[in-house]
Chain A
């Protein structure tokens, strides 16, 4: 699998990560190696095989749709990096 810098940039954007020139080269090499290793599974014939998606055997596990308050506002804000007692504060979204 050939991985170019353009693909790394695209993936980094989707994954919300940054790579500078040095780390980009390292991740490119790692991805190339891992993906070559992953390609092994293409040898198997999976025609007419249904993908296995859910590991639990029970289907349609229902519960009552009840509103519950599990945490208070203060608890919800407790771990926020920046908050004013009512809201979590974030950097400006719209540039002037």
Chain B
């Protein structure tokens, strides 16, 4: 079977009876078996996927109406609920939990005939940038098994990278879709805050979280967005704005001569933490875009060094509140040796949460505690306003902001430097801005490092400008 990168091609070949859904599922299942050492999947829904494929093939044979995602085999990150299936957020605290309902995103892709092939590993509760923090083992980069895949949606990125599915869903709180996409040579897309319902997405930091996609074509990202986006009564922070036909907007890209205005930050490109080869390739891309007639200008961004601290103050605060629901009482792990309620809470949480999760709960508890609230939490909310206003203002004069996705290519598994939390947090320097501001962003593959690993380039656009963002993203992949 050929390596499909685009659902359109699959649907064309299905219609021409060159392939069947059953054959496609078998092919992906054999790729899963062959890439098992990556540890990308926590569970493969083998029988179910085969069954669904059979049903679809029957529908095709009968000439019945097909959903818009027929032929798409997709994996979902272990923080996205799927009714009557296990979900654990890669944590021991939910190791035997089965979801009672499907997330709105999953509900909508199932209605369009997507086949869900399995659930993928991630950093515990989506907290991490390496996928080393899963309670169920490290995930490995398929291009080099000694390297991390990035995180937190590392399993989803590897699932797509290893061609075990056409696409995968992830979640992006500070770069958790875009950073692993960069490390794994795939396309990672995070929509505007509130564009896709968060109903059924396990909460990490509610004012940052957004479901995103990992795909091999921008077209598939656009189609998935079109299907998952839109008003949902189960999520009050979800936008009621009408959903444009993102997939149609992409059709004219190759012939389109439209000139865009692109801003980049000098501070970001001259940042001392930025790898020299990534810096070089990003500069070359900017020069190329300029030579093609786009406006490319340096804009000053005085908040670069404040992005990561602001992000971690606010997200740890929200996490400490969101994770208070894991108390060992209603569901999840309960400590065997607790004799009273207080001990049940404390022992259950202590036994089942991993180190990074505990660290973030403690940090969040600190910044929210009396005496420190104003200096940390409240102050960070004000800085978030400054960053928000400054960034949105740039879009008055520019269509996009272009930055590297990550300061370095994928690092080694177990790298001492990234065992230090602050160093790991700084790996998010280019991606957290989009979540702090609530704007959409996409990472597309840019080049390969001399160490053999891939890296991406990131484009950010103003709120709800996904159509333009995806169009230009596609142009960068041509």
Contact at B385–A18, with CB atoms within 8 Å?
no
Chain B, interface size: which category?
35 or more
Q: In chain B between 305 and 354, which residues have their CB closer than 8 angstroms to a CB of chain A?
A: 305-306, 308-310, 312-313, 320, 324, 327-334, 338-347, 349-350, 353
Contact B386 A44 (CB under 8 A): yes
- Interface status of A22 (Cβ within 8 A of chain B): no
Of A35, A43, A56, A76, the contact of B237 (CB 8 Å cutoff): A56
CA distance A71 to B463 in the complex (A): 36
- Taking a contact as CB atoms closer than 8 A, the residue among A53, A63, A92 that contacts B340 in the complex is A92
B438 within 8 A of A: yes
A81 touches which one: B334, B347, B349, B382 (CB < 8 A)?
B334
A54–B98 CB distance below 8 A: no
State whether the Cβ of B193 lies closer than 8 Å to any Cβ in chain A. Answer: yes
Q: Smallest CB-CB separation from A62: which chain B residue?
A: B236
Cβ of B369 under 8 Å from chain A? yes
Chain B residues, CB < 8 A from A8: 362
Is B17 engaged at the interface, CB distance under 8 Å to the other chain? no
- A49 and chain B: residue at smallest CB distance: B382
- Given contact pairs A33-B420, A79-B100, a sample of 7 additional A-B residue pairs in the complex whose CB atoms are under 8 Å apart: A27-B362, A31-B362, A38-B376, A49-B385, A55-B208, A57-B239, A81-B328
Distance to closest chain A CB from B433 (angstroms): 14
Interface presence of B366 (CB below 8 A): yes
A85 proximal to B (CB < 8 A): no
- Chain A min CB distance to B28 (Å): 30
Whether B100 pairs with A71 at a CB distance below 8 angstroms is: yes
Specify the chain A residue showing the minimal Cβ separation from B381. Answer: A51
Complex CA gap A25/B100 in Å reads 40
Which chain B residues (383-439) contact chain A, with CB distance < 8 Å?
383-386, 388, 420-422, 425, 438
Asked whether B207 is an interface residue with its Cβ less than 8 Å from the other chain, the reply is: yes
Q: How close is B171's CB to chain A, nearest CB, in angstroms?
A: 15
- Count of chain A residues with Cβ under 8 Å from any Cβ of B? 52
Residues in chain B near residue A53, CB distance under 8 A: 207, 381
Check: A95 CB closer than 8 A to any chain B CB. Answer: yes
Chain A residues within CB distance 8 Å of chain B: 7-8, 10-12, 14-18, 27, 30-31, 33-35, 37-44, 46, 49-58, 61, 63, 70-71, 75-76, 78-82, 88, 90-93, 95
How many whole Å from A71's CB to the nearest CB in chain B? 5
Give Cα A80–Cα B97 distance, bound, in whole angstroms: 9
Give bound CA distance, A7 to B139, whole Å: 35
Do residues B320 and A41 form an inter-chain contact, with CB atoms below 8 A? no
Chain B residues, Cβ within 8 Å of A79: 96-98, 100, 330-332
Is there an interface contact between B366 and A11, defined as CB atoms closer than 8 Å? Answer: yes
Give B402 Cβ to nearest chain A Cβ, in Å.
23
* Among candidates A7, A27, A42, A61, residue contacting B375 with C-beta atoms closer than 8 Å: A42
A15 B362 Cβ-Cβ under 8 A: yes
Asked if A18 contacts B350 (CB within 8 A), the reply is yes
Contacts of B345 in A (CB 8 A): 16
Report B450 CB to chain A, min CB distance, Å. Answer: 31
User: What distance in Å separates the Cβ of A52 from its nearest Cβ neighbour in chain B?
Assistant: 4
Q: How far is the CB of A67 from chain B (nearest CB, A)?
A: 14
Q: What are the residues of chain B within 8 A of A88 when measuring CB–CB?
A: 329-330
Complex contacts, A41 vs chain B, CB 8 Å: 306, 309-310, 313, 379-380, 383
Q: Give Cα distance in the complex from A10 to B256, angstroms.
A: 61
B232-263 toward A: CB 8 Å interface, digit per residue (1/0)?
Answer: 01001111100000000000000000000000
Residue B180 interfacial (CB < 8 Å): no
- Note all chain A residues with C-beta closer than 8 A to B381: 51-53
CB proximity to A under 8 Å, residues B188-210: 193-194, 207-208
Nearest residue (CB) in A for B323 is A15
User: Does B269 make an interface contact (CB < 8 A)?
Assistant: no
Report yes or no: A17 in contact with B331, Cβ–Cβ below 8 A. Answer: no
**B312–A38 touching, CB < 8 Å:** yes
Chain A residues with Cβ under 8 A from B320's Cβ? 15
Q: Is the CB of B378 within 8 A of A51?
A: yes
B385 is contacted by which of A30, A40, A51, A81 (Cβ under 8 Å)?
A: A51
CB distance from A91 to the nearest CB of B (A): 5
B361 within 8 A of A: yes
Chain B residues in 8 Å Cβ range of A63:
233
- Residue among A50, A53, A54, A55 with most chain B CB within 10 A: A55
A27 engages B358 (CB within 8 Å)? yes
Is B40 located at the chain interface by the 8 A CB criterion?
Answer: no
Which of A16, A27, A37 has the most chain B CB atoms inside 10 A of its CB? A16
Contact B358 A17 (CB under 8 A): yes
User: If A54-B207, A93-B340 touch, does A46 touch B382 (CB 8 Å cutoff)?
Assistant: yes
Contact of B331 among A7, A52, A80 (CB under 8 A): A80
Contact assessment for B361 and A78 in the assembled complex, using a CB-CB cutoff below 8 Å: no
In the assembled complex, the Cα of A46 lies from the Cα of B334 at a distance in Å of 44
Query: Does B160 count as interface, using CB distance less than 8 angstroms?
Result: no
Q: How far is the CB of B81 from chain A (nearest CB, A)?
A: 12
Closest to B238 in A: A56
Residues of chain B contacted by A76 (CB below 8 angstroms): 100
